[in-house]
Amino acid sequence: MNFMFRQILDQAAAVLVPPTCVLCGAPGKAGLDLCAACRDELPRNRHACPRCALPLPPAVAANAWCGACLQRPPPYTDAFVPYLYRDRIRALITGAKFSGRLNFLRLLGLCLADSAREAGITRPDLILPVPLHPHRMRTRGYNQALEIARVLGKELVIAVDGDTCVRLRAITPQEGLEKEARKRNVHGAFGVTAPLKAGHVALLDDVVTTGSTAAEVANTLLQAGARRVDLWAVARTP
């Protein structure tokens, strides 16, 4: 089933079927396929480095940078990553990415929008999703980061640009690679089709692991004319 058709089916279902929690089957909250109890149990990334969103031990002072950022700050200015990549968030993200559960993407976008409002984030001029390689795009049929960005942009009334930044070459999966190897793996993998007009860009991904991919895209965007790049994502690996 192609992406457009699935999207139409999802939208039709959203109108016809009352919201039902995708995690436990209980009635959902208004317009959200998630019940209040499951929402409260989503693993939050509450105590994290403000620069890279790395979860920090409770003993570390609030808003303190992590050791890695103190040594070598990343090219992005702020990180907004409200959830941890485990339990139900992991189930929602993997379902959205690998099982074609497109309604999960909408759900993640809405949760991210709520968290952004709660956190009082600094508003960017533009949300720019991390691009997928065209080959991956063809096999999956959609870019999960772009779909989450669309929901988020609509909710927060911020423009979304899914075209200007492109992936120039495929990246071997980053899983299992050490941080330095990840950096080498993504070096030169992104480019832009036109100079960026937006000064302040929020770069959006679904999951941040070491931040090497995000750093590479952020550098590309800064070179393309962005004044400031923030990193936004749904979840951070511990």
51 binding Zn ion? (CB under 5 A): yes
Helix (H) or strand (E) holding 208: strand 200-208
Helix (H) or strand (E) holding 98: helix 87-98
Tracing tokens 């004044």 back to the chain, one arrives at 227
Question: By C-beta, is 51 or 167 nearer to Zn ion?
Answer: 51
Half-sphere exposure for 176 (CA within 13 Å, toward CB): 2
52 binding Zn ion? (CB under 5 A): yes
Q: What are phi and psi of 235, to 5 degrees?
A: -140, 155
Question: By C-beta, is 24 or 119 nearer to Zn ion?
Answer: 24
Q: In whole angstroms, how close is the CB of 77 to Zn ion at the nearest point?
A: 12
17 binding Zn ion? (CB under 5 A): no
From CA 94, how far away is CA 133, in angstroms rounded? 18
User: Please, which of residues 208-237 interact with Zn ion by CB under 5 A?
Assistant: none
SS3 181: helix
Q: In whole angstroms, how close is the CB of 50 to Zn ion at the nearest point?
A: 8
Q: In whole angstroms, how close is the CB of 141 to Zn ion at the nearest point?
A: 28
Q: Please, are residues 233 and 208 in contact by the beta-carbon 8 Å criterion?
A: yes
Question: By C-beta, is 201 or 215 nearer to Zn ion?
Answer: 215
Q: In whole angstroms, how close is the CB of 23 to Zn ion at the nearest point?
A: 5
Q: 144-156 and 102-119 are packed helices; what angle lies between their axes, rounded to 10 degrees?
A: 40
From CA 47, how far away is CA 112, in angstroms rounded? 17
| Helical spans, DSSP H, in 99-168 | 102-119, 134-140, 144-156
Q: In whole angstroms, how close is the CB of 53 to Zn ion at the nearest point?
A: 7
Residues 6 or more apart in contact with residue 67 via CB below 8 angstroms:
none
Tell which one of 35, 96, 165, 192 touches Zn ion (CB under 5 A).
Answer: 35
Q: What are phi and psi of 151, to 5 degrees?
A: -65, -45
Tell which one of 4, 17, 24, 181 touches Zn ion (CB under 5 A).
Answer: 24
Question: By C-beta, is 69 or 166 nearer to Zn ion?
Answer: 69
Question: By C-beta, is 17 or 170 nearer to Zn ion?
Answer: 17
49 binding Zn ion? (CB under 5 A): yes
Only one of the segments 14-22, 104-112, 149-157, 165-173 lies at the binding site for Zn ion (rule: CB under 5 A); that segment is 14-22
159 binding Zn ion? (CB under 5 A): no
Q: Which residues bind Zn ion (CB under 5 A)?
A: 21, 23-24, 26, 35, 38, 49, 51-52, 54, 66, 69
